[in-house]
Structure 1
């Protein structure tokens, strides 16, 4: 996770030369880090806790905020 945070501007250059895509990957690198930590927790045997946290976060927090930011504030994929 730390490697992705430190190399977020360079990470996408491995796969593409498009500056727009490189910026998009750098902007979304924080979400990738959170996803990695979730996978680590599941791999550590905390499936039930991670599942409950994910359900609460997605439906109680993420969905309403994502709809608001993605559609009302016109942030597109960053808002979602």
Structure 2
């Protein structure tokens, strides 16, 4: 049992303290180039279909929220008679 614990400690120490890092591609220059080019699109839609979906969902929630606020204000301004 002690051997298993020692092995687990070695594996944990090796993954945390290892100086060898995984090499990842730097995608920032590609994103900068994509967002800075002048193609007539607004910057909040240059990310593709996921950005367009997030934009539309945000606008829908904003309109629904504003409508609900107006509804509650009208309901509070004209209370129901009992």
Normalising by structure 2, what TM-score?
A: 0.27
**Pair member with larger Rg:** 2
Asked which structure has the greater RCO (Cα within 8 Å, sep 6+), the reply is 1
Higher helix share: 1
